[in-house]
Amino acid sequence: MSQQRTIRLSVQQHTSTVYVLGTEISIDIHGSAPKDATSFDVRGTPGVDVYIVHNPQVAKVPTCVPRWPLDAGVEVVVTMKALSDAVNDNKVRISYYGQDGGPPMHRAMLCLTCVDISLDADTTRSGAVKRKTADKREWTWGPDGEGAILLVNCDRDDPKSSDMDNMDFCVRSYADLRDMSCMILRTQGPDAIFDDHKLVLHVSVSDADKVGVFHARGDDVPHQYEHVLGSDELSYIVDRSSGQEEDTFYVEGLAFPDADFSGLVSFHVTLLDVPVENLPETPIFTDTVVFHMAPWIMTPNTQRPLEVFVCSVSDNADFVEAVSELARKAHCKLTICPEAENRNDRWIQDEMEFGYVQAPHKTFPVVFDSPRDGKLQDFPFKSILGPDFGYVTREPYNETVSSLDSFGNLEVSPPVTVKGKEYPLGRILIGSSFPRVGGRRMTKAVRDFLCAQKVQPPIELYVDWLCVGHVDEFLNFVPAPGRQGFRLLLASPGACYRLFREKQEEGYGEARLFEELETVTTTTIDEILANETLRRENDYVQVNMIVLGKHLGIPKPFGPMVDGRCCLEENVRSLLEPLGLTCTFINDFFTYHTLLGEVHCGTNVRRKPFSFKWWNMIP
């Protein structure tokens, strides 16, 4: 619906005003009517379209009807389709008539100057800013949705900077500028109009701490981009130079969606009439454009691996070498966190989770730093945050951090459809307890953040029965052929017991576990099957592994040797290799397993973003 404002005329003098393309002006014909007038007619110059609305429920009628009764149900609406060449070059004349129907009793004149004002962004999500006359106040999801997108500028493009790019009020480089979304203010019409009026760009108090806006001034060099909106700056007067029809602004995001922030922010530009006397400035027209902050998105194991992270500590050289070889086979970049940075904290999966943010014009990875804050706590910020690599964290408020806040307890499924509902980016999986007093649960700050992203709605799974309590202890996803493109692997001590009983019946009951480990007490299949305490504890098997495409890095189980081969390894191979997967068993027994972790806990993987664009889904 077009913006409409009402103009009151005078029969004593001409009235002048500005008309903005795409709006409507309603003329108050009653306020200027002479006392004895009973009818009127209205005429406009060729550039003006004049309509009479006699009943709001009836369509507008062109002014081919010569005279209209001057009653309360009559409204005159004016529109224009072309810009003015000069001030007041278009006119509308109202003539008032008495009961006798003679010549006009009085006339009122409205002088119009048509201008165009449009605040535009990439609302079509094409990667380019196009002028859009339709309503830009709404932001909609889906493949046919519209609305601009904003990235949280949480990387650090300048190596000399000590913080994220959105923590200062300057543009440090063109790389910094490319992380922002372009917004263009277009103004056309006689210069004199803009000299006599104010153009104000403004943002609400509630949105001001979520965004920063820079105005391109002078030469196109980064240091000349002026910070004009955001933080304490709620409005900015745009000084339009003579003949200048475009002002370019760049917008950066400061905050991700969260429990108290939907992710939507609005910018407005208002044309103000500045009166000659000391009277209030009057708004003539306001244009609005809405942005949605890009959410943080996780990537499942089915996405192509790009980079593998592992910590080097005093006793895990063989483990690091095995992971390095696996990364080489999968054609992944390898990043080794040295002991000087990890301070003997090897649990790199628990410290952080990799994801990304995306807009039509830019995508970059973002590391989510867990509230675990072990000795690795500085690594994500100091060593991963950098050019086109963002950082985000959430600190719990008045909550105790538990093992469930480590990000081994944070996974995401591949894309799924559940009861007809599509989740094209999968669903986040986090471990939790039953809703009871005393149970461990991921802190509210992290859960709220994950839920607020909307595109991967979380599911809480019961893990409090486990000592560590992480979802990666009993489930994993691997790529596989077929319609779904993946398989869900679940730990099954029952399956292990069935395998051992099978081997016992085949005559291998005396086969021993852990024979290759010199300092570990061995045990036979017969002894395991007879151990009721172990059966009750029921925690023998995990599925904790690293998935690099078709290459799987699996903790070496050191199971019973049957015909010279580990029967556990052979069983796992028989299940996974028909899916086109390659199993590599990595010895992590003393370096991770005895410390209550496995291969997945000691590694981390950055993966390729989804090809599916998050704004095309319907949450």
Q: Strand, coil or helix: what is 417?
A: strand
Other beta carbons within 10 Å of 464: 17
Euclidean distance between CA atoms 504 and 502, whole angstroms: 5
Euclidean distance between CA atoms 15 and 13, whole angstroms: 6
Query: Taking the CA atoms of the chain, what radius of gyration do you get in angstroms?
Result: 34
Name the DSSP class of 25. Answer: E
Euclidean distance between CA atoms 209 and 253, whole angstroms: 9
Tell me if residue 111 is catalytic.
Answer: no
Euclidean distance between CA atoms 560 and 543, whole angstroms: 18
Backbone phi, psi, residue 121, to 5°: -145, -175
Euclidean distance between CA atoms 236 and 227, whole angstroms: 10
Pair 226, 309: CB distance under 8 Å? no
- Least Cα distance to 43 among 104, 124, 85 occurs for 104
Give the distance between the most distant pair of CA atoms in the chain. 121
Euclidean distance between CA atoms 611 and 619, whole angstroms: 18
Q: At what angle do helices 567-576 and 493-503 cross, to 10 degrees?
A: 120
Secondary-structure breakdown of the chain: helix, strand, coil percentages, each rounded to the nearest 5: 20, 35, 45
Distance of CA 293 to the CA centre of its chain: 5
Both tokens of residue 335? 């990043």
> Cβ contacts of residue 198 below 8 Å, gap of 6+?
237, 271, 272, 274, 281
Name the DSSP class of 506. Answer: I
Q: Strand, coil or helix: what is 94?
A: strand
Cα distances from 333 to residues 323, 462, 492, 527, 597, in angstroms, run 11, 35, 33, 44, 24
Q: Which residue among the candidates 332, 337, 567, 601 is catalytic per the annotation?
A: 601
**Residues labelled as active-site residues:** 601
